[in-house]
Amino acid sequence: MATPLRVRRQLPTSPWLFAAPGLLITGAFVLYPFVSTLVNSFTDRRTLLPGRFVGLANFRELLHDDMFWTGLRNSVLYVLVVVPALVVLPLLLALLVRRNIPGITFFRSAFYTPVVASIVVVGLIWVWLLDERGLVNSVLETVGIGRIGFLSDQWLLLLSAMAVTVWKGLGYYMVIYLAALANVPRELHEAAAVDGAGPVRRFLSVTVPAVRSTMVLVAALSSVAAFKVFSEVYLMAGPSGGPAGEDTTLVMLVQRTGTGLTGRVGYASALSVVVFAVTVALMLLVLRADRREEA
């Protein structure tokens, strides 16, 4: 296909002209900031002051920074709770909406609505729902359980934020699973049913193996997203991260440390490097777990 004639007849610059806008934006606002994050992590740069090279000082400081460990703990907890929920629940939901029974397209669309809404809208909706005097507590009081301080207790707050993340992600992963389920041959299910397998058994030995690679994909996507959680916790716990900052996540710490006129860009960059490292590690971990299971 790559005839030399064709190459010569093109204007020599035109392929680069086509790629130029994309390359320019990507280079200037993604790759350059990425490299400069790595470089800055070895400096004491501040928003208004150019930095000096300080070697590993930022990383040494990290090890003794309680806030860093709090942030890392919360972000890791986020992955541990949110990912299993987002791997399993959307699959069950997809099974529920898979059959083309009357009205099902309406349900599918309705279940997707939280995905479309901004995380800010979603966060504020749930802040109001889970408020001390909000709807959830009104209902709990009416049925006699009593009011629960979802947004005032450190752990309940984090758990509530996790629930919101799951709530917002359900529809998205449901659609991914629906595409995967469409490829599961119906004969497998029918054969299993003939052999006397009940619905649970069929789910575990027919459906799950058939969509296993999709489950790995969902695990990979959702774990990376969960580790980088910012908005839900920021909105529900407030900019300072809840009681005594105990609900701060790692990305919240990056934002808090690195912005403003006195922002410590160098230290925030070191925190960002940890975000990169864990993100890459999570991807590798999921892919490796996948390969081991396959073997």
Partner 1 sequence: MSVLEKVRPERPAATAREPRVTDDGRRVRPAELLWRYLLLLAVLALTTGPFLWQLATSLKGPTEDIYSSPPSLLPAHPTLHNYARVADTIPVWDYALNSLKVAVANVVTNCVGSALAGYALARLRYRGRRVTTLVFVLAMLVPVEGIVIAQFTTMRELGLNNTLIGVVLPGAVGAMNVLLMRGAFRALPHEIEEAAYVDGADVWQRFLRIALPSVKGTLAVVAIFAFMGAWDDFLWPLIVLSDPSKFTLTIGLNYLHGTFANDERLVAAGTVIAVAPLIALFACLQRYFFRGVGEGAVKG
- Applying the rule CB under 8 A, the residues between 75 and 114 that interact with partner 1 are 93, 96-97, 99-102, 104, 107, 109-114
Is position 10 an interface residue for partner 1 (rule: CB under 8 A)? yes
Is position 224 an interface residue for partner 1 (rule: CB under 8 A)? yes
Is position 125 an interface residue for partner 1 (rule: CB under 8 A)? yes
| Minimum CB–partner distance for residue 41 and partner 1 (Å) | 10
Q: How far is CA 41 from CA 2, 272, 275, in A?
A: 45, 8, 12
Task: List the one residue out of 213, 186, 215, 223 whose CA is nearest residue 202.
Answer: 186
* Cα 177 to Cα 163: distance, rounded to the nearest angstrom: 20
| Minimum CB–partner distance for residue 28 and partner 1 (Å) | 7
240 phi/psi in degrees, rounded to 5: -90, 0
| Minimum CB–partner distance for residue 99 and partner 1 (Å) | 6
Looking at the Cβ atoms of 73 and 295, the one nearer to partner 1 is 73
Q: How far is CA 96 from CA 29, 181, 208, in A?
A: 42, 11, 15
Is position 15 an interface residue for partner 1 (rule: CB under 8 A)? yes
Q: How far is CA 275 from CA 112, 229, 252, 258, in A?
A: 29, 11, 11, 14
| Minimum CB–partner distance for residue 287 and partner 1 (Å) | 13
Q: Which of residues 22-81 bind partner 1 (CB under 8 A)?
A: 22-23, 25-34, 36-37, 40, 47
By CB under 8 A, name the one of 87, 126, 241, 248 that touches partner 1.
Answer: 126
Inter-axis angle of helices 250-258 and 265-294, nearest 10: 160
Task: List the one residue out of 255, 206, 211 whose CA is nearest residue 230.
Answer: 255
By CB under 8 A, name the one of 83, 219, 268, 286 that touches partner 1.
Answer: 268
